[in-house]
Amino acid sequence: MPQNTYRAINFAEKLGQIHEHWQPRVMAELNDYQIKIVRIEGDFIWHDHPETDEAFLVIEGSLRIDFRDGSVIVGPGEMFVVPKGKEHKPFAEKEVSMLLIEPRGTLNTGHEGGARTAQNDVWV
């Protein structure tokens, strides 16, 4: 059988194609989940995801996720899972690049809508 060369997904290469903040891009699917990559900087809006947990894995920078009752700092080589239904607001004083893992169809603003809602299901 001829040998195929499969290619890994390289985060730095994908980030090189992303020039906007707060616009998650899909890199891969895992069953009905998507693994997204995003650059963020500054403040976001309060929102939650009533149907799903959401995983944040930081590649570069220092992510702060604010909750109504506290906060968490997530740095490179670290992750945090925000439980379903828990209100949160990501914040990055300087630019952060990170992965998001969540079910296909999850919007970045949950059900809040508005100007900060990114187009969903855009691949990089």
Q: Summarize as ranges the residues that interact with its own copies (CB under 8 A).
A: 1-12, 27-31, 33, 35, 52-55, 57, 59, 65, 67-75, 77-81, 84, 101-103
Locate tokens 């195929």: which residue? Answer: 4
Locate tokens 């990170």: which residue? Answer: 98
Nearest to its own copies of 75, 113 (CB atom): 75
Q: Report, in Å, the least distance between residue 76 CB and its own copies.
A: 9
Q: Report, in Å, the least distance between residue 20 CB and its own copies.
A: 21
Q: Report, in Å, the least distance between residue 104 CB and its own copies.
A: 12
Nearest to its own copies of 9, 122 (CB atom): 9
- In our burial notation (b when 16+ CB lie closer than 10 A, e otherwise), range 22-39 reads bbbbbbeeeeeebbbbbb
**Residues, the chain:** 124
CA 61 from centroid of its chain's CA atoms: 14
